[in-house]
Homo-oligomer: A and B are copies of this chain.
Amino acid sequence: MTDRRPSRTDHRTDAIMRAALDLALELGYAKLSIEAVANRAGVGKHTVYRRWSSRGLLFLDAVLSLNTEGLSHSNTGDVVADLRETMIKAVDVLGRPPWGPLYQALIGEAQHDPEVAAALNQRFIEPQTADTLARLKAAKDQGELAPDFDLDLAFDMLSGPLYYRLLITQQPITHDYIDRVLQAAFAGMSPRPPTR
């Protein structure tokens, strides 16, 4: 970046991402074009391309701008409650209308565009995984988790079913569903008495 005038740049960046989201909601992602986004945002195509080399990367930033705040975990001493809070927040933003279908479209794009897939992982999935792992490690240190609990797999076990619902069965991801996933994922978390 040669041109460094932060406030104007940020203002334009926000306007472009907002225009991308508005147009995707109106037209669907399939019909989104850099040209239409530039027109809606009142900037030239070059201004958009200077920052984003493809429609997919622009759309990624636009979708992530919705929720990068506020998805880190609390530590109240109750690991399941803390994970539940973050899962509900994430699903409320990305797992249901109006933004859920745009997040679906973004992941659909990631199946065809390796740059979008890599950026999605670096910018969103990996930080979320690390934050979840840190919360789980704290729980293990506090004796909340059984010694054989697979910490490194936990994010996949918790978010896998949510993505499965979003992308495959496309059924609503209700709070009840989140509770059942937590229950199943943590069924073997702690020592249990024999149930006979």
Contact = CB atoms under 8 A, between A and B. Distances in A.
Interface string A36-79: 00000000000000000000000000000000000000000000
Interface stretch (A11-19, A83-91, A164-172): A164-172
Interface string A126-170: 000000000000000000001111100110110111111101111
B161 A180 contact: no
4 A-B pairs with the lowest CB-CB distances in the bound complex, closest first: A187-B188, A108-B111, A160-B160, A160-B161
A168 B164 CA distance: 11
Nearest to A126: B169
- For this chain, the copies found in one complex come to 2
A93 interface: no
A195 interface: yes
Contacts of A186: 188
A83 to B, nearest CB: 15
Given A164-B164, A165-B156, A181-B157, A105 B110 contact: no
Q: For the side of the interface on A, what is the size category?
A: 35 or more
A25 interface: no
Interface in A79-131: 104-105, 107-112, 117, 120-121, 125
A161 B185 CA distance: 12
Interface string A180-196: 11011111110111111
Contact of A153 (B109, B154, B184, B196): B184
20 contacts: A104-B111, A107-B108, A108-B108, A110-B167, A121-B168, A146-B195, A150-B183, A150-B184, A156-B164, A157-B160, A157-B181, A157-B184, A160-B163, A163-B164, A184-B185, A187-B189, A188-B188, A191-B192, A191-B196, A192-B194
Contact of A111 (B107, B156, B164): B107
A163 B163 contact: yes
